[in-house]
Amino acid sequence: MITRFFDRHQRWLFPAPAVIFIVVMMIFPLGFTLWNSFSGWSLTAGRPNTFIGPQNYVDMMRDARFWNAVLNTFYFTALAMVIELALGVAMALLIDAKDYPGKRVVTSLLLLPMMATPVAVAMVWLLMFEPTAGVINFVFGQIGLPKQLWIAGSSSVIPSLVLVDVWEWTPLITLIVLAGLAGLPSEPFEAARVDGASYWQTLWRVTLPMLLPTISVAGLLRFIDCIKTFDIIYGMTGGGPGFSSETLNIYTYNQAFYYFNFGYASSLLVIFFTIVTGVSLLVAYSRRRLEV
């Protein structure tokens, strides 16, 4: 009896667990967040999650902290992406340039920063950045450079956080680009050599254009991670000094878990989600265009 039931409904019974999982774990939370974003749900105001229309979005447009957070998010992401892509590609080209003993050791060493827990990384850098007792200012003092405030100064905090992100995630770009380099055909390079192209000409005209799809994938992955960066910022500054390093993610977290304005926090998340999806689609689209 049961066997016959299974036989007849195989088509939807087998994918059912996966479908249920996706609905429960992804679609439901997204839908619930969207619903909440139109509600005034707030524990501090004692409001339940009843529909209030687009009020949260209207408030957001007038919220100076929201705009400050948007600015900080893009500042952090842009700075980190530019440095990581440039350094990552350069490192990959250097590593790939020649065969030498220990090449594989170098590639394995690159993995180390990425394997560290971000919160642990944040704690270590927090100690190193400490203006009075930290090792970085100590070294600066020894070699005669002026001591810096690092994450304790409102203008230096985001570049300092970017430094940590660059330290941890540049190797990811390097590894992806290395894999891309290994997959390139050798004929175009031979042809370039026969035609008498210099190293730089080969790099600009042959290697980089052929690597572009790989770089754009690496860039997209980093973009999504960078814009969502939470652990190192929260662990090191919590958005401070003042609000100088408060990104959208940190602001949303504050609204939800410190101010308990769940409705407003949800609307921030919806905007955040739209930004990430929008940029990702844009990159995917331009990639398709480039490949043609």
Partner 1 sequence: MKQLRKLLLLLLLLSLVAGCAAPVSAPAPSAGEAPAAGEMPYAGVTLRLVGANHPWQVAITPLLADFEAQTGIKVNFEALGEDQLNQKLTTEFTAGNSDIDVFMQRPLQEARVMQLNGWYEDLTNCVSDPDYDFADFADGAVGTTTVNGVLTGVPIVTEQEVLYYRKDLLEAAGLEVPKTLDELKAAAEILTDRDNEMYGFVARGQRSPLVTQFSSFLYSMGGDWFDENRQATINTPEALAAIDLYGTLLREYGPPGVLNMSWPQAVAIFAQGNAALYTDASSIYSNMLDPEKSAVADKTGVAVFPAGPAGSIMYNVTSWGLSMHSGSRNKEAACEFIKWATSKEIVSKTQGEGAVPGARESVWASPAGSAAFPADWVEAVAASANGRGYDRPLVIAVTQARDIIGGAVTVAIEGGDYVAAANDANAQFQALLDSEQ
Q: Which is nearer to partner 1, 131 or 188 (CB)?
A: 131
Q: Where are the alpha helices (DSSP H) in 143-261?
A: 157-182, 187-194, 199-202, 208-227, 231-236, 248-253
- Phi then psi for residue 81, to 5 deg, are -65, -45
String marking each residue 44-83 x if it binds partner 1 according to CB under 8 A = xxx-------------------------------------
Tell me how many degrees the CA angle 267-268-269 measures, rounded to the nearest 5: 90
Asked if residue 188 binds partner 1 (CB under 8 A), the reply is no
* Distances from the Cα of 77 to the Cα of 163, 198, 245, angstroms: 12, 35, 12
Among 87, 114, 149, 217, binds partner 1 (CB under 8 A): 149
Q: Among residues 71, 53, 38, 31, which one has the least CA distance to residue 264?
A: 38
Asked if residue 128 binds partner 1 (CB under 8 A), the reply is no
Binding window for partner 1 (CB under 8 A); candidates: 5-13, 111-119, 128-136, 203-211 = 128-136
Least Å distance between CB 147 and partner 1?
7
Q: Which is nearer to partner 1, 59 or 225 (CB)?
A: 59
Least Å distance between CB 148 and partner 1?
9
- Phi then psi for residue 261, to 5 deg, are -95, 80
Q: Which is nearer to partner 1, 48 or 209 (CB)?
A: 48
Among 113, 131, 188, 213, binds partner 1 (CB under 8 A): 131
Name the amino acid, one letter, at 9: H
Among 9, 103, 147, 205, binds partner 1 (CB under 8 A): 147
Binding window for partner 1 (CB under 8 A); candidates: 100-108, 109-117, 147-155, 185-193 = 147-155
Asked if residue 213 binds partner 1 (CB under 8 A), the reply is no
Q: How far apart are CA 91 and CA 174, in angstroms?
A: 6
Q: How far apart are CA 146 and CA 185, in angstroms?
A: 49
Least Å distance between CB 102 and partner 1?
40
Asked if residue 151 binds partner 1 (CB under 8 A), the reply is yes
Interface with partner 1 in residues 223-262 (CB under 8 A): 237-243, 254, 257-260
Q: Among residues 114, 98, 72, which one has the least CA distance to residue 233?
A: 72
Asked if residue 153 binds partner 1 (CB under 8 A), the reply is yes
Q: How far apart are CA 278 and CA 227, in angstroms?
A: 13
The residues pairing with 22 across neighbouring beta strands, listed in sequence order, are none
Least Å distance between CB 156 and partner 1?
11
What's the token pair of residue 223? 């973009």
Continuous segment of H or E residues that includes residue 10: helix 2-13
Among 66, 150, 169, 272, binds partner 1 (CB under 8 A): 150
Q: How far apart are CA 131 and CA 148, in angstroms?
A: 7
Q: Which is nearer to partner 1, 148 or 280 (CB)?
A: 148
Q: Among residues 218, 214, 238, which one has the least CA distance to residue 226?
A: 218
Contact set with partner 1 (CB under 8 A): 43-46, 130-132, 147, 149-154, 237-243, 254, 257-260
